[in-house]
Amino acid sequence: MRFPANNSKTSFATRLVASLLILISLPSTSTAAPDLLAPDELRLLSSVAKIEDTSQVTLAYRLRSPRPLRAHRMELAIGTIFSNADVRPFVSYGPVWRFPVMGPSTFVDVGFSPTVLAGSSFDGQDLGGNLHFTSSLSLVGRFGDAEKYSVALRAQHTSNGGLHRTNPGLDMVGLMFAVEFRD
């Protein structure tokens, strides 16, 4: 799948606003269920890479964490990394640990997720396979009624962790918006 060459006119801000509108329009009738796979929070992340014209849009679900991990949550993320010339969908799943800072409504989230990328190259560059690992650091602020909304500044690194000789990695910085479904 390829974007048309004139896609460069679509700005990062336009993609972020469109993504937020999609998130806000989703039905919020879900409730947290006691099993591990019931999502109780939906996150939308829009990022840009150090490589010009490379962006990422991610939809992530917060899931309950198994007790042995002692993580704040498990996060299932489905998204796409794209440029004017290439598109690569991905899926990742892993723990996120939360550390409070600067009061009860501000946190630092640290995540680590195995990531499967469709294709082993991106924009003509060999990424060294389909299996990667994504580590992330987010500064999160909660707000609204019962603090059910949050905004985060997120930095992440995705690479194959040395599984292959070629390992250029991809660094992204982005904004994340989240809505909790719990009452």
Residue 136 lies in a domain: yes
What distance in Å separates the CA atoms of residue 164 and residue 53, rounded to the nearest whole number? Answer: 26
| Total number of domains constituting the chain | 1
Determine, yes or no, domain membership for 150.
yes
Report which secondary-structure segment, H or E, holds 58: strand 55-63
Q: Where are the alpha helices (DSSP H) in the chain?
A: 12-25
Q: Give whichever of 22-26, 30-34, 98-102, 145-149 has the largest mean pLDDT.
A: 98-102
- Strands (E) across 64-169 are located at 73-82, 87-100, 106-117, 121-122, 125-126, 131-143, 149-159
Mean pLDDT value across residues 122-151 = 91
In the block, residue with structure tokens 């000789």: 165
Asked whether residue 31 is domain-assigned, the answer is no
Q: pLDDT digit string (tens) for 73-88? A: 899 999 999 888 889 9
**Is the residue at 33 inside a domain?**
no
- The answer to whether 173 touches 155, Cβ cutoff 8 Å, is yes
- Asked whether residue 30 is assigned to any structural domain, the reply reads no
Predicted structure pTM score: 0.75
Q: Identify the domain containing residue 75 by its residue range.
A: 5-25+40-180
Instruction: Please give the mean pLDDT across all residues of the chain.
Output: 79
CATH number of the domain to which 62 belongs: 2.40.160.20
Residue 34 belongs to a domain: no
φ/ψ (deg, to 5) at 138: -130, 140
- 35, part of any domain: no
Q: What is the pLDDT of residues 155-178, one digit of tens each?
A: 999 999 999 999 998 898 999 988
β-pair partners for 64: none
> Considering the domain boundaries, does residue 12 fall inside one?
yes
